[in-house]
Structure formats: structure tokens, C-alpha cells
Amino acid sequence: MNPANGTNAAGRTEDTNATNAARNTGPTSNVEQSTRSAVLLEVRNLSVRFGNLHAVSDVSFNALRGHITSVIGPNGAGKSTLFNLISGAIAPSDGQVRFDGEDITGFAPHRLTRKGLSRSFQMTNLFPELPVFENLRLAAQVLEPASLLAMPLRRSHKARERADELIERFALKDKAHELAGTLSHGEQRRLEIAVALASRPKMLLLDEPTQGMSHADTEDTANLIRQLSAEITILLVEHDVGLVMNLSDHVVVMNQGKKLAEGTPLDVRANPAVQAAYFGSGVAHA
């Protein structure tokens, strides 16, 4: 947060209520309540094992409303597994995930989408044989009221509107009727973010959204994430440490399944353990 101009690391205006609540450390129960409400996602002592491998081990952190929280770490650190645990793709062996005040541990992904938690995948997760528009319309289907499920003709109204909106916003008008599988890699990654947004989530989980992108596409995606963060809470896994340091309000560093450190980009960059295990390894350069 830059106190001079009221903006944070991403150059956005702070969510004043959430931020004040997060900073308020007074002893009253009111304050405790408002502190809780500033936290959208709470990850508590989350663990999972694959055989003898502790892929994620006792990881805890909070993601505040309106902030970009990023998870970084070298290959195999457990970042995607952590995302899979949060987004319900796999069940933890221990620990808890709370979202918007509710225990969502072990909820199936479609249930989480209805709760407002949406994710994009490190590996593309589009329907390549369907047109761009249909990919978006299907993802927006969750917006239709359940009572209209028996009336398919009326049902598609909201989903279509949302798909149209996203086509416009993501500059995909020219591509709307092309099969998703025929788009360039950069376009597919962008479409994937649009698909994840289709359900109007409260929080967006992005797993390496710039993976395999050209420098120009990476910059476009960073700008897109920055814009999105004005309206949605973001949890980001990203290899490009420079991009993370520029975009994030809060950074969680993982190494070998464990949380090594967390803090502001500056705190994390200055942390000797992080420098030794990550920046010093030559894996990435800030």
C-alpha cells in the first residue's frame, strides 16, 4: 500500500473496509468479526501425501478480499497440488480450507463454482472441439436459476449474455465461432481466464496463466490480471517471479511441499531463507 496515493502494489485503490479490518488488531469481538470478513480464503494446515511424498505439508495462509495473493516456488514445490486441494480437485489428508467464512474442505469443484470460487488450470482445460462462444456459454450456465432447469429454451438467456460480455471484454469477437482448439496458445490461455470468469466468481485461482507465452502475451496477461483485480480477489501461481513481484499484494513461497515464507513482495525478496532456497538457486530472477 502506498499511503501517499492510496494504491497498493498493483496500483489499485484499496478495498478500504477489508484492509482496515485486516489491520485492526484490537481486542473486541466486533473487530474479530470484521477481521474474519476481510479474509476471503483461509488455508489451515493443509497437507496431502502421494505415497511417501509429502506434496503439500502443513501449509497455512490467508488471502484477503480485493488482493492479489501469489504462490511461488521452484518446480515440484507443491503449488499446483495446493491449488488442487483448494479447488476440490483432490482431497487433503489433513487441514481445512475456508472460503467466505464457510468450511469448504473436500467440496467438489462444481459446488465450489456455485460458492464463487473458480480456477483456471496449468494445463489447458477448454473444450477444443467447441467454438469459443460455446466454451464461454457452457461455463456461464451456472448463472441460470436452478428452477429453470426443466426449460432449456429459457435457460440459456443469462449464460448467453455473459458469454457475449466476455467475448467483447477479451477481444475475442473475431474468434467467437472458431473452435477453441484452433486458437493460438496465447489466445487459449486468455480464453481459459475468460471461462474461469464466466460464473462471476468472488475469487479466481490462476495456475501459471503465462506459461509458454511470448513476452508480449505475458505482458498482456499481466495487465489483464491487474485490471481484473479491481473487481475480483485473485490467487495466482506463477513462475515468472518478476511478474509476481510487480502484481502481488501478498506472496507465499513454497519449497518441497512446505511454506517457506510469506509477506509483501519486498519482505519475501529480502528473506534470507527465500534467497537461499529460491532466488539463489538460479531458478528465477526477480
Catalog residues that contact ligand ATP under the rule CB under 6 A.
Answer: 50, 53, 55, 73, 75-81, 122
Contact between residue 43 and residue 226 where contact means Cβ atoms under 8 Å apart: no
Sorted by sequence, the CB contacts under 8 Å of residue 257 that are 6+ apart come out as 53, 54, 55, 56, 57, 59, 77, 78, 81
| Least distance CB 19 / ligand ATP (angstroms) | 29
Taking the C-alpha atoms of residue 118 and residue 243, their distance in angstroms, rounded to an integer, is 22
| Least distance CB 237 / ligand ATP (angstroms) | 7
| Least distance CB 133 / ligand ATP (angstroms) | 30
Taking the C-alpha atoms of residue 115 and residue 109, their distance in angstroms, rounded to an integer, is 10
User: Torsion over CA of 113, 116, 120 and 126, rounded to 10 degrees?
Assistant: 40
Binding span for Mg ion by CB under 5 A among 12-20, 73-81, 190-198, 251-259: 73-81
Kindly tell me which of 15 and 192 has the beta carbon lying closer to Mg ion.
Answer: 192
Question: Is 69 an interacting residue with respect to Mg ion (CB under 5 A)?
Answer: no
Kindly tell me which of 75 and 147 has the beta carbon lying closer to ligand ATP.
Answer: 75
Residue 269 parent element (H or E)? helix 265-270
Residue 72, strand partner residues = 253
Residue 44 grid coordinates: 489451515
Residue 107 grid coordinates: 467440496
Taking the C-alpha atoms of residue 286 and residue 284, their distance in angstroms, rounded to an integer, is 7
Q: Binding marks (x or -) toward Mg ion, 109..138, rule CB under 5 A?
A: -------------x----------------
Q: Which does 247 bind (CB under 5 to 8 A by kind): ligand ATP, Mg ion, none?
A: none
Q: Which does 232 bind (CB under 5 to 8 A by kind): Mg ion, ligand ATP, none?
A: none
Question: Is 70 an interacting residue with respect to Mg ion (CB under 5 A)?
Answer: no
Which residue of 35, 69, 80, 84 would you call a contact of Mg ion, by CB under 5 A? 80
Binding site residues, Mg ion, CB under 5 A:
79-80, 122
